[in-house]
Structure 1
């Protein structure tokens, strides 16, 4: 069963995928849910299953042994599927880009909707990235609305 863009609730549910990062991005990701930024008050929620998630947040450089598992995880998500590359390693492959086991940037594996740069990105960058995700959802919702009216 596929969800339409209108079915995305006001709150954003995120599944975090650590693909072997140095944990710098993960520390900033977790601090975003602390008392200073408190993303949960904005409706953002971490979920434990990709089947519940609206957004797949990937940290770290993806290696070749994880590609199939990452694609299957992405396929488990209900429509609309959104992907965020969080940190330099996910965005560009980082220092492992030309490694024999590195797969380069995340967008070579999955369609990425939002890129959040930094090593590690600050929580403010995450908030900005989540804002871009919501704007992308609204844009796609408006497009599907226009197509239906034609």
Structure 2
């Protein structure tokens, strides 16, 4: 169990974007939002629009057809925002590394704040990554004030 020492000021709303993955990470994201792990205790909620999101969960390597869509979704998010790269594919390309159809890992396209390694990562790791993202957002908001 994770021990939290600081109380959070706000809930995080997350938007999920699949940039060309094999869907292994998506299955783990769905598992992470079930009552077994109960991410709502940290205030985590999935939303259907990037305009409402604080966190962008990106899975998969960026394929050519998804590059402009990923950039557009990133630009639609309000500041401050945090980008989470979930899985080995988004970090390095994973098993699709050096494929003819890839434009690169996610951090070649948009800035990434939190990496969650694994192929696929466990639900506990995804929730821990969101908690780290929440702490980063709090630091960003503290610097603005």
**TM-score computed with the length of structure 1 as normaliser:** 0.86
Tell me how far apart the structure 2 counterparts of residues 86 and 113 of structure 1 sit (CA, whole Å).
11
**In the alignment, does 2:130 pair up with 1:123?**
no
Tell me how far apart the structure 1 counterparts of residues 140 and 56 of structure 2 sit (CA, whole Å).
17
Q: Superposition pairs for residues 48-67 of structure 1, below 5 Å?
A: 48-67=48-67
Q: Are the aligned partners of 2:84 and 2:113 in contact in 1 as well (CA < 8 Å)?
A: yes
Runs of 4+ in 1 over 4 A off after TM superposition: none
Which one has the largest radius of gyration?
1
Give the match for residue 4 of structure 1.
none
Where structure 1 has 5 or more consecutive residues not aligned to the other structure, the ranges are: 1-8, 146-150
RMSD value, Cα: 1.5
Tell me how far apart the structure 1 counterparts of residues 82 and 136 of structure 2 sit (CA, whole Å).
9
Q: Are the aligned partners of 2:80 and 2:140 in contact in 1 as well (CA < 8 Å)?
A: no
Structure whose residues are more often strand by fraction: 2
Tell me how far apart the structure 2 counterparts of residues 39 and 58 of structure 1 sit (CA, whole Å).
18
Give the match for residue 33 of structure 2.
33
**TM-score computed with the length of structure 2 as normaliser:** 0.89
Where structure 2 has 5 or more consecutive residues not aligned to the other structure, the ranges are: 1-8
